[in-house]
C-alpha cells in the first residue's frame, strides 16, 4: 500500500517542484518567472502588485465575449509571457479577468514564462515561434486557430471573438 501511495504522490511532488521557478534577471536586477507557471505565481509579492492592479482596473467587454463563450469553452489557451515585460504585465492580468468573467476552466490554460531571450527553463516554447511577449495562442482539437501577439489589434475581447469566429 505504501508503494502505491508513493507512486501516486511522486508525480504531484515533481510537478510542484517545476512550477513557478524563478531566475535572476541581470537587466532588472530582480527575479523573474521562467518555465511552466500557474496563476498562483502572481500571488508572490514580486508579481502581485502589477497583476492585481491591472486585473482590478480592467473592465471586461462582456457584450463581445458573450458572443463566443461556447466556442471559448472548446478552446485551449497557451500564454507565453515575460514577468519583466510591460506588455505582459498589462495583457496577462486582463486575459485572466476575461477568462474569469466567463468561468473558463483553469485547467485549459497553459502558462509559460520566458526570459529576455524568449526561453523557458527547458524546451517549453520550442516550436511555438515566440518572438514577442505576451503571445496568447488559441487551440481547438490541438490545432492552433490564432494568436494575439504582444498587444491586441482591437481589444482582447474583439480579437478573441475574431479568432474564434474565423476558425
Look at residue 13 in the predicted model and tell me its pLDDT. Answer: 45
Say whether pLDDT at 16 is over 90. no
Task: Quickly state the pLDDT bin for 9 (edges 50, 70, 90).
Answer: low
* Domain definitions of the chain by residue range: 21-166
Cβ pair 31, 50 in contact under 8 A:
no
Please report, rounded to a whole number, the percentage of residues in the chain having pLDDT higher than 90: 88
Span 82-91, pLDDT tens digits:
999 999 999 9
Look at residue 7 in the predicted model and tell me its pLDDT. Answer: 52
Burial group, residue 121, by CB count within 10 angstroms (0-12, 13-18, 19+): middle
Section 95-118 average pLDDT: 97
Q: Beta-carbon neighbour count of residue 57 at 10 Å?
A: 10
Burial profile 59-89: b = 16 or more Cβ within 10 angstroms, e = fewer: ebbeebbebbeebbeebbbbbbbbbbbeebb
Computed over every residue of the chain, the mean pLDDT equals 92
Q: Tell which CATH classification among 3.40.50.300, 3.40.30.10, 1.10.3720.10, 3.90.50.10 matches the domain 21-166.
A: 3.40.30.10
Look at residue 18 in the predicted model and tell me its pLDDT. Answer: 86
Section 53-75 average pLDDT: 96
Say whether pLDDT at 17 is over 80. no
Amino acid at each position: 500500500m505504501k508503494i502505491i501511495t508513493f507512486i501516486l504522490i511522486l508525480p504531484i511532488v515533481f510537478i510542484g517542484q517545476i512550477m513557478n521557478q524563478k531566475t535572476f534577471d541581470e537587466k532588472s536586477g530582480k527575479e523573474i518567472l521562467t518555465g511552466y507557471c500557474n496563476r498562483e505565481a502572481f500571488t508572490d509579492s514580486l508579481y502581485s502588485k502589477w497583476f492585481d492592479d491591472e486585473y482590478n482596473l480592467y473592465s471586461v467587454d462582456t457584450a463581445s465575449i458573450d458572443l463566443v463563450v461556447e466556442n471559448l469553452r472548446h478552446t485551449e489557451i497557451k500564454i507565453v509571457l515575460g514577468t519583466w515585460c510591460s506588455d505582459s504585465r498589462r495583457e496577462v492580468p486582463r486575459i485572466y479577468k476575461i477568462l474569469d468573467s466567463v468561468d473558463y476552466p483553469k485547467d485549459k490554460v497553459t502558462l509559460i514564462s520566458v526570459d529576455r531571450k524568449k526561453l523557458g527553463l527547458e524546451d517549453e516554447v520550442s516550436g511555438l515561434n515566440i518572438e514577442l511577449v505576451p503571445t496568447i495562442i488559441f487551440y481547438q482539437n490541438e490545432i492552433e486557430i490564432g494568436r494575439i501577439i504582444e498587444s491586441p489589434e482591437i481589444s482582447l475581447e474583439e480579437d478573441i471573438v475574431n479568432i474564434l469566429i474565423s476558425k
